[in-house]
Amino acid sequence: MTDNYAVIGNPISHSKSPLIHGMFALATGQDMAYQAIEGPLGQFAATADAFRAAGGRGLNVTAPFKLDAFAYATDLSERARLAGAVNAMKFEGERVLAENFDGVGLVRDVVHNLGCPLQAKRVLLLGAGGAARGTLLPFLAERPAQLVIANRTADRAQALAAEVAGQGPVSAGGYAELTGQAFDLVFNATSASLRAELPPVPATVFAPGARAYELAYGKGLTPFLRLARNAGAQRLADGVGMLAEQAAEAFAWWRGRRPDTRAVIDRLTVPLA
């Protein structure tokens, strides 16, 4: 019997999730179907209820429903609780298990696909929203020498750092406080690139040989990546690997088999030019 999964969002026509999970299912021989659901705004719970009633086994969750999914869940993972947002759910009777795989997917892309360990590295994270929150525990688990969170609103970054203060060497502040500091890896978790804008970060944050990672994907050479290239960053990457790896984590959570992501990454990669 075919098991049913889906991604829910609004809008949703741009989502690559049906393609990704279709490729994963084919590669691993899983009898499953995966669809995209455009959920009406303000009706997440009703839409999820209907999907479950029709036999749905699990959902990926994208904007603007990650907070709704957080509220809907009965069992939150530690990662989801810290992020305050959910991007994957599975249904076991009356229980709704919820996860956030964004940070895990990002770390796997950086460490395994790009061959760049975070251990003992100086790491800068730009932004303090939902995308940034999901990265913190996975980042700190890699034991960086330093993790700095920078945000337009310094108080928001500092509050986020305080939530994980016991997990590793983390600090936070505003962009102006980055003057005079340099980092081995710089991650842009702001929404600026979605508007073709540049976060107000000084070019000097890129240490010699630094890597720059844009969490957005499919945008080519964004203003952030262009700044990094012009500042001498040696390696640039966007979030296509993160997209594939977080999807693989959800797939493994649902199906018990973790698919290889290389074919998906190759299929979705857009040149950074």
Non-local (6+) Cβ contacts of 71 within 8 A are: none
pLDDT at 145: 98
Superfamily of the domain at 103-238 = NAD(P)-binding Rossmann-like Domain (3.40.50.720)
The token duo for 219 is 């945008």
Per DSSP (E only), the strands in 18-161 are 32-38, 56-61, 75-76, 88-92, 95-99, 122-126, 146-150
DSSP state at residue 39: P
258-262 mean pLDDT: 97
What is the pTM (predicted TM-score) of this model? 0.93
Domain 3-100+246-268 has CATH 3.40.366.10: no
Give the active site residue among 66, 90, 121, 219. 66
Pair type for strands 3-9 and 56-61: parallel
Please, where in the chain does CATH 3.40.50.10860 lie? 3-100+246-268
Please, where in the chain does CATH 3.40.50.720 lie? 103-238
pLDDT at 77: 95
Q: Are 24 and 254 in contact (CB under 8 A)?
A: no
Non-local (6+) Cβ contacts of 113 within 8 A are: 241, 245, 261, 265
| Band of pLDDT at residue 57, cut at 50, 70 and 90 | very high
pLDDT at 273: 74
Q: What's the rounded Cα separation, in Å, for the pair 131 and 240? A: 14
Instruction: Answer yes or no: 66 catalytic.
Output: yes
